[in-house]
Structure 1
Amino acid sequence: MHVGFITSEYPHELFKKGIGGIGTFTKNLANQLHKGNYKVTVFVHSHTESKVFEDNGIKVHFIKQKKLKGFTWWVNRKYIQQYISSVVKKDNISILEAPEWTGITAFMKFSIPLVIRLHGSDTYFCHLDKRKVKFKNKLFEKKALKGATKIVGVSHFVAEKTKELFKLSILVETIHNTINPNQFVPDHSKIERKTLLYFGALIRKKGVLELASIFNKVIEEDKEVTITLLGRDTIDVFTQVSTLEMFKNQLTAEALKRFIYIPSVPYEEVDSYIKKANIVLLPSFAEAFPMTWLEAMVLEKQLVTSNIGWANELMINGETGYCVNPIDHQLYADKILDLLSNPTKAKQMGEKARQVIKDKFNSETSYQENVLLYKKVIAEC
């Protein structure tokens, strides 16, 4: 079996843009498939250049974006389709997989099965974020979903919510995102006491702005605590100004003194910042089944997360950390202070978090679910 992935991002030194959960997922699963002696090809579409190279046994194609004023969406899709189709034929690829985000495979047709994996569409995130989705994006996403041979969600929550939003009547299976625990080794010797860390894009839907008010309350109780935001700044969708500046403007003078901002760093450097943090804060309002949460849990971090939707499929409130609605600023702050005040209990929560990943979300074993899915889809076509 030869699996092809279609993606807009891929963690590699040659890929200069930011990496999100889809890129991390793709590389993790590609590595597991390759390790299991399956062939893997990754197609990174709409890139700034064309390039083909090997990445630890995985063939990677950067496909340069084709532009035509007013028709780039059509011209680029047709070029991507033609490019991938030629490689499918030449290299005997058995099955393709793509995310549903902005419906990149809308209006594409392939000679082999296409699996669409639900990592969270723009329609899905806009719904959770309570804002209007672009008509074009919803149209493309619906068209892409309708053209899939099989649809699979990375959580039960995203699967059911997507069916509801797009009025899908077909069966959508769930295969949770997973991670390889052997690649993430906890190191508590590096922890810097009373340090809080948020890592990921600085964007409203991930609860970043709530953290400002939460941290103000933490500082009122303990003036030695620091908070670090690690990630790419974005322009806020509602105010059209920097999310970072909005965050800083909400901080009290005392809290601002204890705030640190670190712009995006290469993917392979992120875990060093996670290891140094005393507590990791993940207050997101909109996720599917986030890789950032898996990474923090597998590193035995003390966690305070949100309690929305997907959270209950991954976190166990009071056992792997605390799950709190981010709009409840006082309760969220109280849970942070509780972890700081009870290091033994907090350490046990971190250990339990890693054990949950090893038992339930371990890519070393669960990647076989994807192998069985691919083989079943191929056999039925």
Structure 2
Amino acid sequence: MTTTVGFITPEYPHGSVRQTAGIGTSLGNLVPELVKKGIRVILFVYGQDADEEIAEDGYILYRIKNRNYRFAGWYFNRKFLQDFISQKIRIHTINIIEAPDWTGITAFCSFPVPLVMRFHGSDTYFCHLEKRPQKWKNRWFEKVAAKNADAFVAPTKFAAELSASLLEIKKPVEVIYNGLSTDKFKNQTPLDFDSGLLLYTGTLIRKKGVLELPAILKEVWKKYPNARLVLIGGDAPDIKTGHQSTWQLIQESIDAEKRHLVEWLGKIPYQQMQQHILKAQVCLYPTFAETMGMVTIEAMAMQKPVVSSNFGWVSEIMEDGKSGFMEDPTNHGDFAQKIAMLLSDNELCYQIGKNAREFVSAKFDSKMIAEKNIAFYQQILKNLTQT
């Protein structure tokens, strides 16, 4: 019998969906591989501007518009989702449903099939990592949603253990890394790059460590005064200062005579990102808060040496000194020293990049990751039939 999996998500990389970020990227890698392996997939993309059913090759996507309620919209929108999805579960004979932890979208929902919660990173999780206060309602939603889930999966051991502790989850959490289609991330000319070009990809937001970059660059420039930094990603307000633009904060932290060496390209189509990665000599990810960090994996798959933060999850996605370098981004001098070491040695860049590609291919290839997800779903269904 064919297994059918439903995904509840705010994002998916499809032309009709308004936006996509980390959750969408991970699903965009997983879903096609599940389909290739004979799994039927139904996607429920909530928070959209219209209702629409889209039949694609191997999966069906439902765009679901938020409903307006005069009172307690947070509750009635969830109940609408519950009823809509439950109806489709019966129509499509869906065996299992998966939802993200973010915002506790399945709080107060009950479905006629097992519900899996995947830890993409809850508000509770990120507030804890960033040491900032959390709205009590957000924490409540996420804890209620976790209580309703039948099984849990996380992309790293670090995210599994911390999320389980914060959300008071007593059930075991399966660790399955997010996959990457490594055959789509290739670098045929790893020795061909723009010398001195540094690249950051991701949202310009404090939790990603971008506000540490001006101080790090100041140290790099002492040895390499013409090193350049390109940043790609959407701008965001800064929670700590209330400033509306993190990019402006970055600019203001750089001496006027050096600002021409730092360029922000804003958001670009995902398909164009690889060309910018190919040009870079070194990729920088000084983030403070992730569950795994797919942009890091993508750069590594393209044989780029990466200098990343050294927190929790990072030791699971690279080997320090072999397939990348790890350092606390608040240690500006030490972080800069790792960058300068790579800028000074093309052979080191090549070897680190080669090791990175091999590491990612062995550990995160989407075909292998899809098989692990299928085995996980089948074990949940087997356990259900035995109880």
Q: Does the alignment reach a TM-score above 0.5?
A: yes
2:262 is aligned with 1:262: no
Measure the CA separation in 2 of the matches of 1:186 and 1:24. 20
Aligned to 1:233: 235
**Equivalent-residue separation in structure 1 for 2:73 and 2:237 (angstroms):** 24
- Residue 215 of structure 1 pairs with residue 217 of structure 2: yes
Residues 70-111 of structure 1: per-residue CA shift (max 9 Å, x gap) = 422112111111111111111111111111011001111000
**Unaligned 5+ runs, structure 1:** none
Structure 1 partner of 2:12: 10
Structure 2 portions without partners, runs of 5+: none
Aligned counterpart, 2:277? 274
Q: Secondary structure at the match of 2:7?
A: strand
State the aligned residue count.
380
Q: Distance in 2 between matches of 1:55 and 1:258?
A: 44
Correspondent of 1:202 among 197, 201, 204: 204
Structure 1: which amino acid aligns with 2:216?
I
Q: Quote the residue 1:248 is aligned against.
A: 251
Residue 35 (str. 1) matches residue 44 (str. 2): no
Q: Do the aligned partners of residues 254 and 334 (structure 1) sit closer, same or farther apart at CA in structure 2, a change above 3 Å counting?
A: farther
The amino acid across from 2:323 in the alignment is T
Instruction: Kindly indicate whether the alpha-carbon contact (under 8 Å) linking 2:102 and 2:142 is maintained by their aligned counterparts in 1.
Output: yes
Contact 1:21 1:292 in 2 (8 A): no
The reply on whether 1:300 has 2:276 as its aligned counterpart is no
Which secondary structure does the structure 2 equivalent of 1:96 belong to? Answer: strand
- Aligned with 2:68: secondary structure? coil
Q: CA deviation at 1:69?
A: 3.9
1:210 Cα shift? 0.4
- Report if the CA contact (8 A) 1:158-1:310 is conserved: yes
CA offsets per residue over residues 194-215 of structure 1, 9 Å max, x none?
Answer: 1111101111001010011111
Change (3 A) 1:196 1:94: same
Q: Distance in 1 between matches of 2:328 and 2:174?
A: 28
Q: CA deviation at 1:378?
A: 1.3
- Superposition pairs for residues 38-53 of structure 1, below 5 Å? 38-53=39-54
User: By how many angstroms is 1:362 displaced?
Assistant: 1.3
8 Å CA contact 2:17, 2:63 repeated in 1? no
Flag as ranges the 4+ runs of structure 1 deviating above 3 A. Answer: 187-190
**How far 1:336 moved relative to its partner?**
0.7
Task: Write out per-residue CA displacement over residues 150-169 of structure 1, whole angstroms, 9 at most, x where no aligned residue.
Answer: 01111100111112212222
Alignment partner of 1:188: what SS? coil
Q: Which residue of structure 1 lines up, in the alignment, with residue 332 of structure 2? A: 329
Which of the numbers 312, 327, 331 marks the counterpart of 2:315? Answer: 312
Counterpart code for 1:284: T
Do the aligned partners of 1:3 and 1:38 also contact (CA within 8 Å) in 2? yes
Correspondences of 1:131-142 after superposition (within 5 Å)? 131-142=132-143
Matched, 1:24 2:25: yes
Does the CA-based 8 Å contact 1:219-1:255 persist in structure 2? no
Tell whether 2:355 aligns with 1:352.
Answer: yes
Contact 2:311 2:328 in 1 (8 A): yes
Worse-matched range after superposition: 311-320 or 71-80: 71-80
TM-score (norm 1): 0.97
Whole-angstrom CA distance in 2 between matches of 1:206 and 1:309: 14
Tell me, in whole angstroms, the C-alpha distance in 1 between the residues paired with 2:325 and 2:235: 26
CA contact (8 A) 1:46 1:76 kept: no
Distance 2:166 2:340 in 1: 38
Kept in 2: contact 1:103–1:142 (CA 8 A): yes
Give 1:339's match in structure 2, choosing from 334, 337, 342.
342
Quick one: distance in 2 between partners of 1:24 and 1:192? Answer: 27
Q: Does 1:128 align with 2:92?
A: no
Taking structure 2 as the reference length, the TM-score comes to 0.96
* Displacement of 1:272: 1.9
Tell me if 1:84 matches 2:85: yes
Q: Secondary structure at the match of 1:151?
A: strand
Secondary structure of the equivalent of 2:353? helix
**What is the Cα deviation at residue 361 of structure 1?**
1.4
Aligned to 1:289: 292
What do you get for the CA RMSD once the two structures are aligned?
A: 1.3
Q: Percent identity?
A: 38
